[in-house]
Amino acid sequence: MMVSCEKAANICDKYQYKEATVWEKIQLKFHLLMCKTCTKHSKDNKKLTTLCNQARLAVLSEEEKKKMKENFSKLK
Amino acid sequence: METHNLHPDKWVDLYADYLFNYAVTRVNDSEIAKDLVQETFIAGLKSAKNFKGDAAERTWLISILKRKVIDHYRKKNSKKGKAEVRMTYSSQTDAEGDWLEERIADPNSNFEIDALENEELGLAIQACISKLPKKQAQVFVMKTIEGMETEDICNALEINASNLWVMIHRARTGLMGCLNQNWF
């Protein structure tokens, strides 16, 4: 039942992308009851997810960047 | 004083997303934003000899992009008759005729402040992402911003799932540290 901090952090990451299984979530919750360090990390991790959603980040796709590089290198 | 050098070869990888975010929040159209970023890089390359080295590369590129955004709006408004204030009338039929008063911004609205803060946040995150090792940044962006499935990323980059999660973990920890002072 008690998982390592490393495993807990991994579940916590998966949790941010809604990819943790029910069993993993139980393991994580149980670990967090015992471990202050992971509780802090888990809180920050969640906050990072919130910030990323809030910022509504936009990125260029790899393809678009490749095209940009090509256009760009023609000029040099 | 610290002097900076330009490395145009790395511009696209390092700053394209940062500049794109800046542009897209201002012109509200990703195609136009993309063009503006491209133009910025080209203009930057052309005027590289004027770069005095007293600003960081990114700051310098943003200052070029700023001009490009202004030019974009100027061009858009330069067609005759377009440079005027346009106003859409309220479609509320029960309005009592005080149409101007009804259009005044709600002084209690937080919308503008939120929008500004979110833009600042977006740029801060983008800046932190560009400080990550390239591979970590790539995986993080694909997963978090493009919302790709784990399996698809693994196939695209030819890595296995546990590799992916290790990189996600390092990227996230790095970002938390980087954003720490201002946003946590």
Same domain for B60 and B133, yes or no, is: no
User: Length of chain B in residues, anyone?
Assistant: 184
- ipTM for the predicted complex comes to 0.86
Tracing tokens 């090509």 back to the chain, one arrives at A70
Share of chain A above pLDDT 70, in %: 99
Look up the CATH number of the domain holding residue B61: 1.10.1740.10
Q: How many structural domains comprise chain B?
A: 2
In a domain, B110, yes or no: no
Look up the CATH number of the domain holding residue B173: 1.10.10.10
In a domain, B64, yes or no: yes
Q: Is the distance from CB of B130 to CB of B14 less than 8 angstroms?
A: yes
Same domain for B5 and B71, yes or no, is: yes
User: Length of chain A in residues, anyone?
Assistant: 76
Give the model's pLDDT for residue B84: 59
Which residues from chain B sit within 8 angstroms of residue A14, using beta carbons? 165
**B142 exposure class (CB count in 10 Å sphere: 0-12, 13-18, 19+):** buried
Give the model's pLDDT for residue B117: 81
Same domain for B65 and B132, yes or no, is: no
Give the model's pLDDT for residue B110: 73
What are the extents of the domains in chain A? Answer: 5-75
Q: List, as own/partner pairs, every contact residues B52-58 make where C-beta atoms lie below 8 angstroms and the sequence separation is at least 24, other chains included.
A: B53/B3, B53/B4, B53/B5, B54/B1, B54/B3, B54/B4, B55/B4, B56/B4, B57/B4, B57/B5, B57/B6, B57/B7, B57/B11, B57/B14, B57/B15, B58/B14, B58/B15, B58/B18, B58/B127
| Cα–Cα distance, B95 to B86 (Å, whole number) | 20
Between chain A and chain B, the number of residue pairs with CB atoms below 8 A apart is 87
E strand segments, A1-76: none
| Cα–Cα distance, B57 to B52 (Å, whole number) | 10
Is pLDDT of B167 > 90?
yes
Give the model's pLDDT for residue B26: 87
pLDDT in tens, B117-165: 888 898 899 889 988 998 999 999 999 988 899 999 999 999 999 999 9
> Which of A13, A56, A64 lies nearest to residue B168, judging by beta carbons?
A13
User: Could you tell me the pLDDT band of residue B49, with boundaries at 50, 70 and 90?
Assistant: confident
For chain A, count helices (H), then strands (E): 4, 0
Is pLDDT of A45 > 80?
yes
Cβ–Cβ below 8 Å for B184 and A44: yes
| Cα–Cα distance, B181 to A52 (Å, whole number) | 16
Is 0.90 surpassed by the pTM of this model? Answer: no
In a domain, B3, yes or no: yes
Q: Which residues contact B86 (CB under 8 A, 6 or more apart)?
A: none
Q: Is the distance from CB of A51 to CB of B123 less than 8 angstroms?
A: no
pLDDT in tens, B65-102: 999 999 998 888 776 555 556 666 656 556 566 666 66
> Which of A48, A58, A71 lies nearest to residue B21, judging by beta carbons?
A58
In a domain, B56, yes or no: yes
Chain B residues with at least one Cβ partner in A under 8 Å: 8, 11-13, 16-17, 20-21, 24, 30, 33-34, 37-38, 41-42, 45, 118, 121-122, 125-126, 141, 143-146, 150, 165, 168-169, 172, 175-176, 179, 183-184
Domain holding B20, by residue range, is 1-80
> Which of B21, B150, B184 lies nearest to residue A57, judging by beta carbons?
B21
In a domain, B69, yes or no: yes
Is pLDDT of A74 > 90?
no
Give the model's pLDDT for residue B39: 93
